[in-house]
């Protein structure tokens, strides 16, 4: 009997320790990209990962669960989700020397509430056959009447476009940004629709000559047998190279407000910002690392170097609501 009691006591004392060696993740980022990184994290730290993947609804789920949520961290595919998590009060700040050393100031919240993990350029794709010399194009040029009926894009309310519009507000003010957005709308070849790849397909088919699209989609299309011909029909252009530089969007991570495994959540963020994880992001998804000194993939390197907009993501994020309002005001998607 004494042995049984001793064994039960031992088990009860060990169980919490074992439970603590877990980190629970809500991820908007796809399984194929995240799993290799998480497996390497577990191998290095011994901390098991449990992941819920979803394209949408994770923020709403986190709100419903409240303090009973099992989630320790949330991985997002764009900065709009980072700001939404912050605005909803669903995260807690992290102040960690390792993370702050790995991630430059302009790619993390000043109060440590969110951290960018990868960068991607909001590029302008152009037809190789019909748009020569587009390598010097600026975002502002998309409103020029010479491009009337030649531009394709996805919804103005998609987070990638919201980020770009917010950056225009940050640089030019609300009135000028609205004027620009109205000009872009008037130059559209068709109603906004589809995703970034669909716009490149439309260029290949001759429906338009220019489109907005994240840089990593070029790599995805080139690796896809069915889509390679679309990618081969366009040039990728990094806008505004003679002035402020190309707009950068990001994927990122936050520590949840009620993280039950806070220490393990912080360790995961440390790892995601490390050289090893950053190299995986770069090679698997053709994105740009946020950690300085980490090389991009050979394919991404072949697109050439570029100047990026130095304005902080946190500054651009202040104009997200205004950007959404402008999309409605000019009836961009209608």
Average the pLDDT over 87-107 and give the result. 96
Gap between the Cα atoms of 265 and 258, Å rounded: 11
Rounded Cα distance between 224 and 190, Å, is 26
Structure confidence at residue 2 (pLDDT): 43
Residues 47 and 172 in one domain: no
Strand ranges (E), 216-284: 234-237, 248-256
Q: Is residue 334 part of a domain?
A: no
Query: Is 127:203 a contact under the CB 8 Å cutoff?
Result: yes
Residues 238 and 160 in one domain: yes
Q: How confident is the model at residue 252 (pLDDT cuts 50, 70, 90)?
A: very high
- Residue 182 within a domain: yes
In this prediction, residue 30 carries a pLDDT of 87
Residues 153 and 228 in one domain: yes
Residues 207 and 319 in one domain: yes
Which residue from 29, 15, 17 is spatially nearest to 263, judged by alpha carbons?
A: 17
Quick one: average pLDDT of 269-297?
A: 94
Query: What average pLDDT does this structure show over 190-218?
Result: 97
For position 326, what pLDDT does the model report?
Answer: 98
User: pLDDT at position 5, please?
Assistant: 42
* Short-list 170, 120, 111, 150, CA closest to 317: 170
Q: Residue 9: is its pLDDT beyond 60?
A: no
pLDDT in tens, 125-181: 999 999 988 889 999 999 999 999 999 999 999 999 999 999 999 999 999 999 999
Q: Do residues 229 and 320 both lie within one domain?
A: yes
Average pLDDT along the chain: 92
Cβ–Cβ contacts within 10 Å for residue 191, how many? 12
43 and 25 in a common domain: yes
| CATH number assigned to the domain comprising residue 236 | 3.40.190.10
Answer whether residue 16 shows pLDDT above 60.
no
Pairing relation of β-strands 151-152 and 248-256? unpaired
pLDDT at residue 13, rounded to an integer: 40
Residues in the chain: 334
Which of 263, 291, 260, 298 has its CA nearest to residue 276? 291
Q: Are 260 and 86 in contact (CB under 8 A)?
A: no
Residue 310's pLDDT is what? 87
Q: Which domain holds residue 263?
A: 21-119+248-301
Provide the pLDDT for residue 1. Answer: 46
Residues 192 and 281 in one domain: no
Q: Is residue 165 part of a domain?
A: yes
Q: Is 12 domain-assigned? A: no
Q: Which two tokens stand for residue 197?
A: 């790849």
Q: 140 and 37, same structural domain?
A: no
Q: Is residue 259 part of a domain?
A: yes
Least reliable range by pLDDT among 3-7, 24-28, 68-72, 227-231: 3-7
Instruction: Report the DSSP beta bridge partners of residue 252.
Output: 76, 116
Percent of the chain with pLDDT over 70: 94
pLDDT confidence of residue 15: 39
Buried b (16+ CB within 10 A) or exposed e, 121-148: bbbbbbbeeebeebeebbbbbbbeeebe
Number of folded domains that form the chain? 2
Percent of the chain topping pLDDT 90: 87
Judgement on whether residues 141 and 252 belong to the same structural domain of the protein = no
> How sure is the predictor about 284, in pLDDT bands with cuts at 50, 70 and 90?
confident
| The dihedral formed by the CA atoms of 320, 323, 329 and 333, expressed in degrees to the nearest 10 | -100
Range from 30-34, 53-57, 203-207 that averages highest in pLDDT? 203-207
Residue 169 and residue 318 share a domain:
yes
Cα-Cα end-to-end distance for the chain:
76
Tell whether 211 and 259 lie within a shared domain.
no
This prediction's pTM: 0.88
């Amino acid at each position: 009997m004494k042995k049984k009691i001793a064994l039960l006591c031992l088990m009860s004392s060990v169980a919490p320790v074992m439970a603590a060696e877990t980190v629970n993740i809500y991820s908007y980022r796809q399984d194929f990209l995240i799993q290799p990184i998480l497996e390497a994290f577990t191998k290095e730290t011994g901390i098991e990962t449990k992941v819920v993947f979803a394209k949408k609804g994770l923020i709403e789920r986190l709100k419903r669960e409240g303090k009973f949520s099992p989630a320790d961290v949330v991985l997002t595919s764009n900065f709009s989700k980072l700001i939404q998590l912050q605005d909803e009060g669903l995260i807690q700040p992290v102040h960690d020397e390792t993370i702050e050393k790995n991630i430059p100031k302009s790619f993390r919240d000043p109060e440590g509430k969110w951290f960018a993990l990868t960068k991607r350029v909001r590029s302008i794709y152009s037809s190789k056959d019909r748009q020569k010399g587009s390598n010097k194009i600026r975002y502002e040029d998309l409103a020029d009447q010479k491009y009337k009926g030649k531009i394709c894009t996805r919804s103005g309310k998609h987070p990638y476009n919201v980020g770009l519009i917010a950056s225009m507000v940050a640089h030019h003010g609300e009135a000028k940004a609205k004027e620009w957005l109205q000009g872009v709308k008037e130059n559209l070849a068709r109603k906004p629709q589809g995703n970034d790849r669909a716009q490149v397909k439309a260029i290949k088919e001759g429906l338009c000559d220019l489109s907005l699209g994240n840089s990593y989609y070029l790599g995805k299309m080139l690796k896809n047998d069915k889509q390679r011909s679309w990618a081969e029909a366009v040039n990728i252009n990094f806008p505004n190279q003679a002035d402020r530089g190309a707009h950068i969007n990001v994927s990122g991570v936050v520590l949840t407000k009620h993280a039950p495994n806070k220490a393990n959540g912080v360790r995961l963020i440390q790892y995601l910002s490390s050289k090893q994880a950053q190299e995986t992001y770069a090679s698997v998804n053709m994105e740009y690392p946020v950690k300085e000194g980490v090389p991009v993939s050979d394919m991404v390197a072949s697109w050439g170097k570029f100047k990026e907009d130095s304005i902080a993501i946190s500054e651009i994020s202040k104009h997200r609501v205004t950007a959404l309002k402008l999309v409605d005001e000019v009836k961009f998607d209608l």
